[in-house]
Amino acid sequence: MNKEKISLVITSIAAPNQVLKSYAALCKQHGVNYIVVGDTKSPDDFFIEGCQFLSIQQQNAVNEPFAALLPVKHYARKNIGYLSAMQQGATVIIETDDDNFATEHFFNFFPKHTTQPYFEANGQWVNVYRYFTDKKIWPRGLPLPCILEEMPDWLKAVPQTITAPIQQGLANDNPDVDAVYRLVSDVRITFDANKQIALGNNTWCPFNSQNTVWYADAFPLLYLPSYCSFRMTDIWRSFIAQRIAWENNWHILFFAPTVWQERNVHNLMKDFEDEIPGYLHNESIRKTLAELSLKSGTAHLGDNLKKCYDALIQRQYIGEKEMPLLEAWLHALI
C-alpha cells in the first residue's frame, strides 16, 4: 500500500449497513482514517467502531461558516468530510459511496508520479469504459451524441511517466452509467482487470465520486457544487477539475475496478429527469471551460475554480448561490 496518510470519506443517510461496516474493518487493517458524513435523515445513534461519524451538528464544528451555507439533504455535504480529512492531516483522500463494496485491492492505488499507458485526444470526448470492456457502455456524463463515435485506438496509448493526483477507479457489477443506459440495457458488467489508462491535456471524460483518489495537490478541486442537479454535481466537478488539472500538467488516471456496487434503490425516471441538464449542456460546458484562460501552479487553483464557476453561473448552468459557497470553501482551505 502507498505510504501516505489516507482518509476515506463517505456520505450516507443510512443506518450502519454492511458496506459501511466493511470499510471500518478494511480501514483498521490498513491504518486509514475513516469518515462518514451524515445528514438530517441520518440515525441519531449512528455508530460503527473505528468510524468518525459527522452529524449535522458535528459538521458545524469542522467549519461553521461553510457548513452553515451548505444545503442540507444534499450529497454536497460530503465537502465537510473532505475538510475534516484535511484538518486531520490527510495527504490522500479516497471517496466512495455506501453501496460500493471494496475489493482487497481497494487501497492499492497508484503513486502520484507513475508510468502508465497515455494518450491525448485533442479536445475530444473519450469513453474510457470502452477500454475496459467490449460492451457498448458509457460513463454517466458522457454526451449522448458521443456514444457511437469511434474511439482512439488503445494501441496508441504509449507508456509515459505522468503526474496523476486524481485517479478514478471503475466499479464492477453495477457501474456508474446514466439513466438512459439503465432504461434500455443490462447494467451488469465485469470490467477488465489489471488495466489502466491516463488521459492527457484537452482529453475529456467524466469521472465520478464513487471510487476516486485525490492527492493533496488537488484537494481544492474536490469541491462538489450544491446549486446544480444532484446527478450532475460530481460530473460537473470532474469537468472543472480536469480543465484546471491540465494547466498544471496533471493527468487523470483511470484504473480497473477495486469496488463492486450493489446499487441503492433508485427511481430511474427521476434519475433521468435529474440528468437532463447534463444531456442538454455537457458539451456546451466543455466548450465554455475549454475557452477559459487559466493560470498554472497550485497557488492559482482557487482563482481558477472561481473563474470556472463564474463562467458556468453566467451561463445559468449553476445557480448564483454557488459563488458564496465556493468562496467559503476556499476560505476554509486557508
Q: What percent of the chain has pLDDT over 70?
A: 99
pTM of the model: 0.96
Neighbours of 128 (CB within 10 A): 21
Question: What DSSP string runs through 124-152?
Answer: -B--GGGGT-SS----TTS-GGGTTSPPP
What is the location of CATH 3.40.50 in the chain?
1-103
CB 318 within 8 A of CB 227: yes
pLDDT class of 155 with cuts at 50, 70, 90:
low
pLDDT class of 1 with cuts at 50, 70, 90:
very low
What is the predicted pLDDT for the residue at 62? 96
Cα–Cα distance between 212 and 94 in angstroms, integer? 6
pLDDT, tens digit, 9 for 90 and up, residues 249-266: 999 999 999 999 988 778
Question: What DSSP string runs through 221-258?
Answer: GGPPPSSS-GGGHHHHHHHHHHHHHHHTT--EEEEEEE
In order of 2, 156, 190, 297, 321, the CA distances from 175 in angstroms are: 25, 26, 9, 34, 32
Question: What DSSP string runs through 65-107?
Answer: HHHHHSPSSSGGGHHHHHHHHHHTT-SEEEEE-TTEEEPTTTT
C-alpha cell recorded at residue 220: 481544492
- Of 109, 77, 105, 117, nearest to 93 (Cα)? 109
C-alpha cell recorded at residue 45: 445513534
DSSP 8-state symbol, 292: -
Phi, psi of 332 (to 5 degrees): -65, -35
Q: What percent of the chain has pLDDT over 90?
A: 89
pLDDT, tens digit, 9 for 90 and up, residues 23-35: 999 999 999 999 9
pLDDT class of 121 with cuts at 50, 70, 90:
confident
pLDDT, tens digit, 9 for 90 and up, residues 169-215: 999 999 999 999 999 997 789 999 989 999 989 999 999 999 999 99
What is the predicted pLDDT for the residue at 266? 80
Range of weakest confidence among 51-55, 131-135, 283-287, 301-305: 131-135
**Ramachandran class of 266: left when φ > 0, alpha when ψ lies in -120 to 50, beta otherwise:** beta
What is the predicted pLDDT for the residue at 123? 86
pLDDT, tens digit, 9 for 90 and up, residues 44-96: 999 999 999 999 999 999 999 999 999 999 999 999 999 999 999 999 999 99
Reduced to 3 states (helix: H, G, I; strand: E, B; else coil), residue 328 is helix
CATH fold of the domain at 1-103: Rossmann fold (3.40.50)
CB 9 within 8 A of CB 37: yes
Reduced to 3 states (helix: H, G, I; strand: E, B; else coil), residue 155 is helix
